[in-house]
């Protein structure tokens, strides 16, 4: 009985240390969930698709999206906007909802993520087109490439 009591007291005394150790996770969970973690980093536009035609992005029309947790910074060379991001991966296609921090304007777009390529199809009226095939026929599509660290 004495040994069991001593062991129980030792566990109680050490339990705060064990709890602190659990918080020492090398990569704590980020805001935005696992889907947004896949997008973390800087993405640069490489081409655009419109009416089924492809055009290259020039330095003058370049745009970057930098995802960090539940925020994204969009830089078009003239202005930078920071928005809160929500990703609904359950919809087909998945949708991104960007809420501008300053103006509270909401922009929705269909998103397709494949390895190091990201396709964003804008939605002008309401929800992104559920039948969007990311060809650029139904809506303008911007193709972004992940920048290497």
In Å, how far from its chain's centre is CA 57?
22
CA-based nearest residue to 110, from 74, 138, 68, 146: 138
pLDDT of residue 17: 44
pLDDT of residue 81: 94
CA-based nearest residue to 79, from 69, 68, 67, 64: 64
- Total Cβ atoms within 10 A of residue 107: 15
Please say if the pLDDT value at position 32 is more than 60: no
pLDDT of residue 25: 42
Separation CA 19–CA 34 (nearest Å):
24
Go through the domains of the chain in sequence order and give each one's CATH number: 31-146 (2.40.128.20)
pLDDT of residue 31: 56
Express each pLDDT in 78-131 by its tens digit: 899 999 999 988 888 888 999 999 999 998 888 998 778 999 987 765 555 555
Please say if the pLDDT value at position 77 is more than 80: yes
């Amino acid at each position: 009985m004495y040994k069991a009591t001593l062991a129980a007291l030792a566990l109680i005394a050490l339990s705060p240390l064990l709890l602190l150790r659990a918080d020492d996770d090398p990569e704590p969970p980020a805001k935005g969930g696992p889907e947004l973690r896949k997008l973390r980093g800087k993405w640069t536009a490489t081409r655009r698709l419109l009416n089924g035609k492809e055009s290259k992005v020039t330095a003058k029309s370049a745009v970057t999206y930098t995802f960090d947790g539940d925020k994204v910074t969009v830089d078009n060379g003239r202005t930078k906007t920071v928005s809160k991001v929500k990703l609904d991966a359950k919809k087909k296609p998945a949708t991104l909802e960007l809420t501008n921090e300053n103006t509270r304007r909401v922009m929705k777009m269909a998103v397709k993520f494949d390895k190091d390529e990201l396709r964003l199809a804008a939605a002008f009226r309401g929800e992104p087109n559920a039948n969007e095939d990311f060809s650029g026929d139904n809506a303008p599509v911007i193709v972004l490439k992940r920048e290497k660290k």
